[in-house]
Structure 1
């Protein structure tokens, strides 16, 4: 067995990211929004489906999250923060309504896939693959189908929502331009990164969920709200972040996972599409209620994928702070309540005999 950082291992990692970059170039040529992330995700999924190893360092996901989160945090200027205060009630309401829609989809999934209620709820309420798998083990259900459903929904969101919104919007001629033409300076970019790392370490120290995104976002947003001299990163840094995140996401989706969830797959696909459709309906309703643009509300109510939805808002140059705030509020409501939600579901299911003994 090779040492973890042998020359052979390093060459393998370089080849993986070279392949991801090549797929990203193809997606860029096809004018996809988020081309580097989508290309890397497709490449990594293809490698895993071919049952080839994908030994990428786990820290790459954390680096990608910090870079994207701090880029998003730049939009939290004093003016943007003031504008978001009036949307606090819709943000909280959307988070709880998303949980309710997750239960609707769980009932649908139970019926068509013949799974128990805990598996169905963990697969349908958007709480992330890692968090849902942990709760699955705690409640004695198989984590494989849960991981598959949560990962599938995120992948569908990344592949479907940004291209569809950009295409329907029609105002974006070059999806990459908004990210590539940002003004930047070396001191401003370094300061932005430092605020993000500090926020991530602080969030991790106090045990916040998803610290490398939420903490980095908070650190950069606070610095932007205080009008510190931050600037964006040079575009190649955002390309690197998208590739890191795309490879990580695609690597989760492998053939072994498909084998374990084989009979569950059609139901999970339909359930994911149903939840996306219901959340689109919620976004349309919020467009009427809040007066925000439909693009901003659809991105705000997408069931997961905060990183990708925020980047899409950045491409559209519309409502980036609002989209991010909607997702962050939902994260802070759903993740702390996830254990309680599943625990109550298990007790109700046991009382009514909805779980196999």
Structure 2
């Protein structure tokens, strides 16, 4: 298991380097994702048949991402509190509209059952969607494929679109300031790791939503704002985090056959197009109302996973703390709405 995990991460890192040489956006995440997906396609019935990516390892790296985002929290974020009330409140409307549109896409275009269409269309809350969907009698393989494809397509389209917009690849080492290329002392690395472990422990005790990232983020932010620590973000650590996230996502293709992918991918493209268009509309209106940058709001409303969108914001230096906050709230709204509607969906499915 350890040897296979090491090999997959090494291949993922090599894929990231190739993607960087080809000037692709977010090269280490998308390159490693592509390599892992290719490995699944070639070896899922062989060497990878019973393989599962070690989730504790992934969780620790998500904690590291949380710590790195926490170091970006500045007192200026408090001055944006009035704007945040508006942008966070608008997420409730976004979630309702996105979910409603997705339900119609999967029900009318895909021909899915009501339960499958409902839970496949949630714009967040992946694990909760799978649990509630299975309880409602949804087609679990299809539901799983749609939820993971939502995340994968969003994290592919957003950096690619921004690269076309800016005219150069985003999320590579070239996009970071001089601090990201400075050496990091072993003491600083040890402090980052310790903060991640402590934040993960705090999240479990307090039961924070999206605790894998929010616990370390809050702890690191508190340390940063107190002036106790002043850590800068080395690019290589962000690149490694991208590889871990990319490989673990690429391996999610395991168990999906060609027919399922053909059916799921085009529906996901339609669904993601709807949500990104809707998010761009919200970003435009909210940008006009608050003066916040359009790009920052667009990433905040793009319906990828919390971890994946936080990595993108961190890699692009687009106020990652604010972006992470919006994605956590998006998931809270989604899960809350699912809970309110669960009994009705289960009755109609029955």
Tell me if TM exceeds 0.5: yes
For structure 1, which runs of at least 5 residues remain unmatched after alignment?
A: 1-8
Query: How do 1:37-186 residues align onto structure 2 when only pairs under 5 Å count?
Result: 37-52=29-44, 53=48, 54-170=51-167, 175-179=172-176, 181=178, 182=180, 184-186=184-186
Give the superposition deviation at 1:246.
0.7
Give the superposition deviation at 1:244.
1.0
| Partners of 2:154 and 2:272 within 8 A in 1 | no
Give the superposition deviation at 1:258.
5.1
**In 1, Cα distance between equivalents of 2:247 and 2:174:** 23
Structure 2 CA distance for partners of 1:112 and 1:69, relative to 1, 3 Å: same
| Partners of 1:65 and 1:212 within 8 A in 2 | yes
Q: Does the alignment pair 1:222 with 2:203?
A: no
Structure 2 CA distance for partners of 1:296 and 1:12, relative to 1, 3 Å: same
* RMSD, aligned CA: 2.6
Measured against aligned partners, the alpha-carbon deviations of 1:189-231 in whole angstroms (never above 9, x if no partner) come to: 4333323322221212333333211222222122223232130
| Partners of 1:127 and 1:334 within 8 A in 2 | yes
SS of the aligned residue for 1:271 comes to helix
**In 2, Cα distance between equivalents of 1:96 and 1:197:** 35
For structure 2, which runs of at least 5 residues remain unmatched after alignment?
A: none
Give the superposition deviation at 1:95.
3.6
| Partners of 1:166 and 1:316 within 8 A in 2 | no
Give the superposition deviation at 1:29.
1.0
Q: Does the alignment pair 1:190 with 2:190?
A: yes
Give the superposition deviation at 1:251.
0.6
Q: Does the alignment pair 1:283 with 2:280?
A: no
**In 2, Cα distance between equivalents of 1:256 and 1:51:** 13
Q: Does the alignment pair 1:34 with 2:31?
A: no
| Alignment partner, residue 19 of structure 1 | 11
**In 1, Cα distance between equivalents of 2:19 and 2:158:** 15
**In 1, Cα distance between equivalents of 2:265 and 2:311:** 29
Structure 2 CA distance for partners of 1:36 and 1:74, relative to 1, 3 Å: same
| Partners of 1:41 and 1:247 within 8 A in 2 | yes
| Partners of 1:34 and 1:312 within 8 A in 2 | yes
Structure 2 CA distance for partners of 1:13 and 1:108, relative to 1, 3 Å: closer
Aligned length: 342
| Partners of 1:300 and 1:323 within 8 A in 2 | yes
| Partners of 2:203 and 2:215 within 8 A in 1 | yes
| Partners of 2:69 and 2:321 within 8 A in 1 | yes
Which one is further off, 234-243 or 175-184?
175-184
**In 2, Cα distance between equivalents of 1:33 and 1:311:** 13
| Partners of 1:122 and 1:146 within 8 A in 2 | yes
| Partners of 2:200 and 2:216 within 8 A in 1 | yes
Which one is further off, 261-270 or 302-311?
261-270
Measured against aligned partners, the alpha-carbon deviations of 1:106-142 in whole angstroms (never above 9, x if no partner) come to: 1122101111222112111122432211111111222
| Alignment partner, residue 208 of structure 1 | 208
Q: Does the alignment pair 1:293 with 2:293?
A: yes
Normalised TM-score (structure 1): 0.86
Structure 2 CA distance for partners of 1:178 and 1:198, relative to 1, 3 Å: farther
| Partners of 2:125 and 2:334 within 8 A in 1 | no
Measured against aligned partners, the alpha-carbon deviations of 1:147-185 in whole angstroms (never above 9, x if no partner) come to: 111111111111110121243134878832344742544
**In 2, Cα distance between equivalents of 1:337 and 1:174:** 34
**In 1, Cα distance between equivalents of 2:291 and 2:144:** 36
Give the superposition deviation at 1:102.
1.2
**In 2, Cα distance between equivalents of 1:64 and 1:158:** 18
